[in-house]
Amino acid sequence: MKNNFFNNDSLDKKSIKQRIRKLSKTKIGFYSIGLYPASLAYNSAMQQSTKSLLLATRPGRSLLGAFSEEAIKGMDPTHLAKMRRMSFHREEGKSVSNSLEYLIAKCDLVILTANSKYIQEDLAQACQIKEDLDRNNVVLGCLSGSFNHDQTNNESYVLCEKNPNLGFFSGFHRHGSLRDPVDSFTANFCHPNALTALIGAHLLNQLSPNIQVSPGIHNVEAQYIKAGKNMASIFAGFGHEYHQQKPGILPTVLTLLLHQALDQAATISMSRKDRYELYNQQTIALTELGYAVPKIEAILNKGSFTEKVRDHTFSQLTAIVADVRGSMMLPATGKPTRNFEAGQVLAKGMREHNRCPYDVYEFEQWCQEAGLNTGALEGLKALQYWPQIKKKYSIPHHDTSMVNLLYKGLYGIEEDQNLAFKVMTESRELSNYCQESVRHTHSRKYAEALDNMEEEDALELLSNTVIIDNAKKAIRDDNIIEDRELTSQTPAYIHIMNSIEQE
């Protein structure tokens, strides 16, 4: 998919300068106006920055349809009038609603803001319109921080992976926060071409003086982070609600959720097909985009050699990391994110019934009774396909242990659900799980051996480590300590870890 502001084959400096001047005065389009884009538009109207923004609703939808009547009553009528003017234009003396085609004809940057339900269809339609109108230099981006699912191949993926030149625009907000006239927010616009990212971020930065947008090249990683943190946010909401009287465990849970979300994206980053071009064929250095250093990589000791296993360069995207942190925080005022609220509902239901929900449908019923629209819970939708996601991206268990536990609680067999309930609700079990589940399999062998030194196989493993050559053999031997039979006396967190690792 061609998706940049300039013709790739043009070397005519005069025409390029003309294009740059045009871009400095261009308009941005938002298509499919949900809660987040409408809140951004309201912020723009509130800050007198509406001249650069055009809106187009999905056919049959209203501009303010994502807001409750109570929220609309609290908005300024003057700002609402400006928002409505952004969504109409004049044709033959009549007022006509903007369409996706109109946005692509009039704007040079169009953000498709639908969620996973519509975004693939919208992208295909936008690409076709670009071709039909000969507007190939219109850059397309998306807001959808969610997993899409291919029913035919039973495969889950993030859209930017399938369309590597698609822009990704993301920041953190809570319900109503973008309608605060004095609060400020950060966001990132990511595109694998540094120049496109720089220009796109510059344009979006003009939406409002309250919204600071920085460029980045890591669109795939940023979109995965946004999609993955929705699941983590459910666990964070559960932790805040269920363990609020036990403040010792909560920092551990939240820290682990954040680190694992970043580690998962760092693993995925290593598998990008365009990784060489991403770092080695940029006209603009990453440090010029705001990255502190050009690259951050993690190396794992494999015994006789070392291997690069993670690329953490994207973690310098402040707004993306802030999104993960913010989604796991309970605000002093206002509501948390919807996925966080779902986690709170889960905690209340588990406390009331003294068990996990029988299945995800019961959990959805709990959410609906609490006034939560389950169709808007991207984290819950993604969790359904978690085994496929984990397998597709080859993410190791120790980088996914918290979401694994949540998945077992909602989708596991009865035995696993009972174990998950015990681990999630008992502080000591949960803290042990947090500590042990992040260990590599072989690392846990030695920890377990130290706890069972009276047993011959444990003593054998430890004695072998004294001799370097034998230690390497012990590391490769998967049967020394892992096959010990679990009993009723074995802690629940060990049982659930074993069940997860057998999948």
pLDDT digits (tens, 9 = 90+) for 55-76: 999 999 999 988 888 889 989 9
Q: Which amino acid makes up residue 112?
A: L
pLDDT of residue 104: 98
Angstrom distances, CA of residue 142 to CA of 158, 163, 445: 11, 11, 45
Q: Which amino acid is at 103?
A: L
Distance in angstroms between the alpha carbons of the first and the last residue of the chain: 37
More confident residue, 192 or 445: 192
Q: What is the mean pLDDT of residues 396-422?
A: 95
DSSP SS3 for 331: coil
| Domains of the chain listed by start with CATH number | 1-144 (3.40.50), 145-395 (no CATH)
Which range is least confidently modeled, 62-76, 327-341, 404-418, 438-452?
438-452
Q: Is 371 left (phi over 0), alpha (psi -120 to 50) or beta?
A: left
Please determine, for residue 480, whether its predicted confidence score (pLDDT) is greater than 50: no
Coil, helix or strand at residue 460: helix
Identify the residue with better confidence: 209 or 347: 347
**Tokens linked to 436:** 């042990």
pTM: 0.88
**Average pLDDT over every residue of 116-141:** 96
Work out the average pLDDT over 120-130: 97
Of 78-82, 308-312, 399-403, 461-465, the poorest mean pLDDT is in 461-465
Asked if residue 482 has pLDDT above 70, the reply is no
Per-residue pLDDT, averaged over 183-192, amounts to 93
For the segment 357-385, the average pLDDT, to the nearest whole number, is 92
The mean pLDDT value for 332-341 works out to 86
| pLDDT, position 174 | 66
What band does 448 get if pLDDT is binned at 50, 70 and 90? low
CA–CA separation, 406 vs 403, rounded Å? 5
Neighbours of 88 (CB within 10 A): 17
**CB-neighbour burial class of residue 70 (10 A; exposed 0-12, middle 13-18, buried 19+):** exposed
Looking at residue 479, its pLDDT comes to 45
pLDDT for 487 equals 77
pLDDT tens for residues 26-55? Answer: 999 999 998 889 999 999 999 876 678 999
Average pLDDT over residues 432-447: 72
Q: Are 159 and 126 in contact (CB under 8 A)?
A: no
